[in-house]
Chain A
Amino acid sequence: MMPDLGKYAAEVLSAYGASMVLLAVLLAVTLRRGRAARAGLAQVEAEAKQETQKDG
């Protein structure tokens, strides 16, 4: 149940809202970049392996 924030409701809710948005963006960017880095490395490692086999 929502607590009664009185006359400062706008301030309290906007502080929580802004913080949650910033934390969510940080998490989303971190996870997205992490996944892209994993996929990129897997692809390059596969290409490198292929090249090694070709040369061998």
Chain B
Amino acid sequence: MSIWSYANPVKFLALSAKLQPYLWGAAALCVCTGLIWGFFGTPDDYRQGSTVKIIYLHVPSALMAINAWFMMLLTSLIWLVRRHHVSALAARAAAPVGLVMTLIALITGAIWGQPMWGTWWAWDPRLTSFLILFLFYLGYIALWEAVEDPDTAADLTSVLCLVGSVFAVLSRYAVQFWNQGLHQGTSVPVATGGRTVDDVFFVPLAISMVGFGLLFVALVLYRTGTEIRLRRTQALRTRMERGL
């Protein structure tokens, strides 16, 4: 069976309903384990003290803030090329989740930065590109709400998503691109494997990262189902009003 068969809303909802109980369960287990282990079961860092415990929220949320945009980029491209409505609705469904992840990353980053850097905020390349990404999320959600015709809204938001992808990439690689600013480079570089986080912190962090990823997938599947139902409700109402 082709993956495109799941562009059919009925098949998508059926598969989503089967997967969701496992996804919600695994997400709850991993997020709770990662955060509880990180908060209660790890020592203080010799330089950062107990503020190191913020890593279990800050890193997973920042990771998901950027990855949510990449997921939206992928589904927006599928909409633009293949015109599958489910992919456009999945992008719409992911945006508020990405927005909240970005907000968590910004807030926890500011709270962590104050005692470590001596400031809540700096116009550092990574922080600034992250703030712009946050504004792109707001603009993306506002654009969906502002345009009445759903296909036009999907077209316009897909283009906005393509433009915003520049800042999603910059958010991830700003430290390497500019090589300056307060924010450090990634502590867990997946590509090179040369992480700078000790195992005692890394294991709960990895569990929390997996948990946030699963939570994102579960939320997006659930929210996409909601968007499909709202679209069908709208279509039925229009049909009834026209007396068809």
Interface set of A (CB-CB < 8 Å, partner B): 1, 3-9, 11-12, 14-16, 18-19, 22-23, 25-27, 29-31, 33-34, 37-38, 40-41, 44-45, 47-48, 51
Contact = CB atoms under 8 A, between A and B. Distances in A.
A53 B58 CA distance: 56
Interface of B: 35, 39-40, 44, 49-51, 53-54, 57-58, 61, 96-97, 100, 103-104, 107-108, 111-112, 114-115, 219, 222-223, 225-226, 229-230, 232-233, 236-237, 239-240
Q: Which of A23, A27, A47 has the most CB atoms of chain B within a 10 A radius of its CB?
A: A23
30 contacts: A3-B40, A3-B50, A7-B49, A8-B51, A11-B54, A12-B50, A12-B54, A15-B57, A15-B107, A15-B108, A16-B39, A16-B53, A18-B111, A19-B61, A19-B107, A23-B104, A30-B219, A30-B223, A33-B223, A38-B229, A40-B230, A40-B233, A41-B229, A41-B230, A41-B233, A44-B233, A44-B236, A44-B237, A45-B236, A48-B240
A16 B233 contact: no
Given A30-B219, A34-B222, A22 B233 contact: no
A1 to B, nearest CB: 8
Nearest to B103: A22
A37 B53 contact: no
A5 B50 contact: yes
Contacts, number: 96
Given A8-B49, A12-B51, 13 more contacts: A7-B49, A12-B53, A12-B54, A16-B57, A18-B107, A22-B103, A30-B96, A30-B223, A33-B226, A40-B230, A44-B233, A44-B237, A51-B240
